[in-house]
Amino acid sequence: MRRETGNGTFLCERGDKKQMTATRTIGLIMPVIIQTDSGELIGMITPVRPAQPFTRTNVPIDIAHGISSVFHELGYRLVVHSNHSPSEQGSVLDNLANENFDGVIAIPNGFVDSAARFAQLKRTGLPIVFVDRYFPDIPIDRVVTDNFRGARDAVRYLISRGHRRIAYFTNFVEVTSAEEREAGYSAALEKAGIPYDDDLVCGPGIVRQGNCSFVHALKYCLGLPEPVTAIFGMNDDMVLGAIQSAGRLGLSIPDDIEVAGFFDSSIPEGMKASFTRLVQDRFKIGQIAARLLLERMRGEGPSEPQHIMVPAEMITAESDLSRK
């Protein structure tokens, strides 16, 4: 565990009162929970944020299981608010203070209005813990993947295999997890003496009938004077998009182009591509978040917010090939 100084203090103003009026109910705020069995990548475009078309769907489920494993044993009830859009999350936050929760665990979106709402909730004394992403300026406990180190190590692995033109596929979403992963990508290049190239930081920028075209992004990278030989994907969607696009262009992975990235989903049935993946310990993240929240609810936590990073496991393409 690491305490952050200079970020303000975390006071449990409601501590004694909550012991007297506890409802034994915990609120869980997270993105929409949808999973498909086909492994098909679907881009969802909304008028609110066309630059953020994809939604990771598997991470919140496993985090919720980890949270539930702790609170269920203690007899707490878990109420899940699963929201489809920033405006829907805003409505949930506006009404949260009236729901009589003992505490809240949240996977926040990265929008400024949500930050303001969470800051207001913090001032009421309601115990809150962020998971997966957070607002750096709000002094609230957070449990996240060590995104920087995971991205740095995966890109270092690609470099060790001889790659010097490595694209970073991202959806340009402005949340801490994405920012930390891009920073890790950049740090690995810098350590190896490889210049950071803005042209290689790209995403599915062409909208086609409600979907985004990864084929366009990959074609662009391959058409540069010095074409890319490897891709690092920010999350499951970016990795799958790169792999599917390579297949449509007749490229073999990892023979023609190598792919690595954060990937927590099950490997789609029939996929033959071998790629390096960073797998988050989502269940453990949920458990740690639940325990931190319990500390705050009991008034036992330190005054400063706690920032806990859980390492991601790197499973290389080589190790995958050796298993087959």
Mean pLDDT of residues grouped by 10 in the chain (324 residues)? 39 41 86 47 31 47 91 92 76 84 90 86 93 94 98 98 95 88 98 95 57 78 94 92 91 94 85 90 96 94 93 86 52
Residue 161 has φ and ψ, to the nearest 5°, of -95, 10
Q: How far apart are CA 284 and CA 253, in angstroms?
A: 31
* Contact of 261 with 169, CB cutoff 8 Å: yes
Number of Cβ atoms within 10 Å of the Cβ of 76: 22
Q: How far apart are CA 132 and CA 130, in angstroms?
A: 7
* Contact of 166 with 191, CB cutoff 8 Å: no
The predicted structure's pLDDT at residue 89: 78
Residues of the chain with CATH 3.40.50.2300: 2-145+281-311, 147-279+315-323
What's domain 2-145+281-311's architecture?
3-Layer(aba) Sandwich (3.40)
The predicted structure's pLDDT at residue 90: 81
Q: Which residue has the tokens 């540069």?
A: 224
Q: Which CATH number describes the domain made up of 147-279+315-323?
A: 3.40.50.2300
pTM of the model as a whole: 0.82
